[in-house]
Chain A
Amino acid sequence: MTFNLRDYGANIWARANKWQRYLMALVFIVAAFSLPLLENTFFNTPNTPFVSVLFYPIGLYTLMALGLNVVVGKSGLLDLGYVAFYAVGAYTAGLLGASLKLNTWEVMPIGIALAMLSGLILGAAVLRLKGDYLAIVTLGFGEIIRITALNSPAIGASMGITDIANPPTTFGFKFDLDNPESYYWTILIIIIITIMAIRILSIRRPGRAWEAIRQDEDVAELMGVNIYKYKLWAFVFGAAVGGAAGVLFASESMFISPNIFKLEVSIFILAFVVFGGMGNIWGVILGAVLLSYIPERIRFLSDARMLIFGLVLIIMMNLRPDGLLPRKKREKIKSDKKDSK
């Protein structure tokens, strides 16, 4: 018997009663909110302020990894163009903030809605494709969005959009360069909302439909699951999360340009999802936090850090092929049959 952290955690959770669960969740949330206190300890990141690293890349990438996890991990749709929704959110914030003078919180629902709309349009067109064809078409969609932005002078072309307004002071929290922790706490709240939404959806009809589609599309369809509809659902949900991340990113960095939304971002986020353990929320969070934190922590290696990142991916995938915290195996018989390959 090898030690399995996910089972260990799941067991503790299963044995706890209602109040113990609330307590654990509360401790966990308080711990997450107090992470900025770790500044100037061993965990400090050289060259970049620790608290802003907590927001970007860690917080933002964790949020996007959670969104992509619904698409790739839960429903098994390989999406290589996830960055497109992030870009849609960010550009909405940049354009509407300047032209309509809306603040970040007012732009947020619009950004999310537009990202969902683009997810709906893309999904409606391509979700009948399977497997790797879907991957290349979504990849193409991401590139189409980026290159269109790059070649459209109306939205700043390669210069991008500058002077995007920071969010206004809310509940006494200032949002500016001196107060990076406000951004971190905001993204943490969005992450918590997302986790709750995913947990609620997972145990209800959409979650069961996604699981069925992931395991076997044809059988799911025969069983009466409307696979097209639920695939679209997963896609739109992922797009909404990506859009929210984009809006927040634009208002924090105050500057966006097409080169931020490269294909590499989609691939990194996919790597976080698979590295942590596809389909398992905690695994994905762990993967995203570790993989976005490590390159910042080892910035003193400056040039070699991406080299080491690649090496870590290879070694970890070989040691733990199902990710750090893999999902619970629900398809025992089928996987046994396939293992005989």
Chain B
Amino acid sequence: MDFSVLISEFPTLTVDGIALGFIYVLIALGYTMVYGVLRLINFANSEVFMIGTFASILIATQLFGHTIESEPLTGFKLVYTMLAMLLGAMIISGLVSVLVEIVAYRRLRAVTTNRLTSLISAIGVSIFLAEGVRILTSSAPMGAPRLLDKITLVTIFGADIRIDILLVIVFAIILLVCLDIFVNKTRLGKGIRAVSMDYDTAKLMGININKVISTTFLVGGIGTGAAAFFYVTVYEVTVFRIGFELGIAAFTAAVLGGIGNIRGAFAGGLALGLIEMYSSAIFGTQWKSITAFVILVLVLLFRPNGIFGESLQQARV
């Protein structure tokens, strides 16, 4: 145990932790929204993230012809390349997520009430996607070209706020506000809240359940895709097994806050990002994921439904 690093690097760790936390929040949406509506662990969401990271890099390398050696871009060119990567990752992840719902969940929902069946079917999809990408990439990690020159904008209390970290935080907040408006103000959002409150009654009230569920998967996938883009921008590398590692962390974040609850995912994701950064400073990076799980166990022992409890209908970001 070594607290000196924690104390000397505290501001930097906090900034990094918040950035990582926002990535977790966005992935956690894919778990928590689906859980809110279907009461199912959306196991394949981790692979939706993985595909988003690859989509984002491939758009930069294949569509715009950048390579690892490319010089960072500036001006208008930078803006539209980054936007294309972000939107591309969001759209592709969203579509994969909807496809996962159709393949893994839709038919099963009609014929069985056994939730484990859907879990195994989702695990099947998850293995299929991860293995497919592993074969296509020959298990090799894929580096992302550094399009954004990572300059330090300001230094607050000794913490360097890099432009990519600021970008993650700003865009994540914008996306979460959009999500809040969508869930609370639109007709489809009302449908999602109704289904998560009471599935049967919502159906009786004439809500098109399949449409609502597809939308939930789409929105969750879009959030996960955005997280994939941010991850690629900050960490600049991806590999076929990335989904598994980040997925477990994001799921932990969702449970920490209270799964099914968007506000909970927000708090849980940020808390987990910070905890992971601080604990790796104290105990060393190899203990990082253990601390997260230990905290999770402790929280669940005292608050068995997560910090905020589970309910999507009172969702406020």
Contact = CB atoms under 8 A, between A and B. Distances in A.
Contact of B296 (A136, A263, A307): A136
Given A303-B135, A313-B123, A321 B112 contact: yes
B107 A310 contact: no
Interface in A294-341: 303-304, 306-307, 309-314, 317-318, 321-322, 335, 338-339, 341
Given A132-B255, A136-B296, A321-B112, A271 B123 contact: yes
A278 interface: yes
A111 B203 CA distance: 52
Contacts of B113: 335, 338-339, 341
A321 B123 contact: no
Contact of B124 (A148, A303, A313, A321): A313
A98 interface: no
Interface in A274-310: 274-275, 278, 303-304, 306-307, 309-310
Contact of A129 (B112, B119, B120, B300): B300
Contacts of A274: 116-117, 119-120
B131 A133 contact: no
Contacts of B286: 147, 150-151
Interface in A247-282: 263, 267, 270-271, 274-275, 278
A324 B104 CA distance: 18
Nearest to A130: B304
A274 B297 CA distance: 26
A128 B304 contact: yes
Given A314-B125, A335-B113, A306 B131 contact: yes
B218 interface: no
Q: State the majority secondary structure of interface residues on A.
A: helix
Interface string B162-190: 00000000000000000000000000000
B252 interface: yes
B150 to A, nearest CB: 31
Contacts of A313: 120-121, 123-124, 127
A125 B112 contact: no
A72 B115 CA distance: 12
A222 B259 CA distance: 28
B108 A144 contact: no
Nearest to A340: B200
Given A78-B116, A133-B304, A140-B296, A310 B131 contact: yes
Nearest to B203: A341
B128 A144 contact: no
Contacts of A143: 248, 289-290, 293
B158 interface: no
A263 B121 CA distance: 17
Contact of B289 (A137, A141, A147, A310): A147
Nearest to A303: B135
A318 B105 CA distance: 9
A304 B251 CA distance: 28
A120 interface: no
B290 A144 contact: yes
A311 B128 contact: yes
B199 A341 contact: yes
Contact of A314 (B103, B259, B305): B103
B128 to A, nearest CB: 3
A80 to B, nearest CB: 9
A318 B107 contact: yes
B287 interface: yes
A141 B111 CA distance: 33
Contacts of A150: 286
A270 B127 CA distance: 14
A322 B112 contact: yes
A307 B304 contact: no
Contact of B135 (A129, A304, A322): A304
A135 interface: yes
Contacts of B131: 304, 306-307, 309-310
B207 to A, nearest CB: 14
Contacts of A263: 248
Interface in A117-160: 125-126, 128-130, 132-133, 135-137, 139-141, 143-144, 147-148, 150-151
Contact of A322 (B104, B117, B129): B117
A321 B111 contact: yes
B127 A137 contact: no
Nearest to A133: B300
A160 to B, nearest CB: 16
Contacts of A314: 103-104, 121, 124-125, 128
A326 to B, nearest CB: 9
B133 to A, nearest CB: 10
B50 to A, nearest CB: 14
B126 interface: yes
B120 A317 contact: yes
Contacts of A147: 286-287, 289-290
B72 interface: no
B294 interface: yes
Given A310-B125, A314-B103, A318-B121, 6 more contacts: A129-B304, A312-B124, A313-B120, A318-B107, A322-B112, A341-B113
25 contacts: A125-B297, A125-B301, A126-B301, A129-B300, A129-B304, A132-B35, A132-B255, A132-B259, A136-B251, A136-B252, A143-B293, A144-B293, A144-B294, A151-B286, A267-B123, A270-B116, A278-B116, A304-B131, A306-B131, A307-B135, A313-B120, A313-B121, A314-B124, A314-B128, A318-B108
Interface of A: 72, 78, 125-126, 128-130, 132-133, 135-137, 139-141, 143-144, 147-148, 150-151, 263, 267, 270-271, 274-275, 278, 303-304, 306-307, 309-314, 317-318, 321-322, 335, 338-339, 341
Closest A-B pairs by Cβ, 4 of them: A313-B124, A140-B293, A310-B128, A310-B127
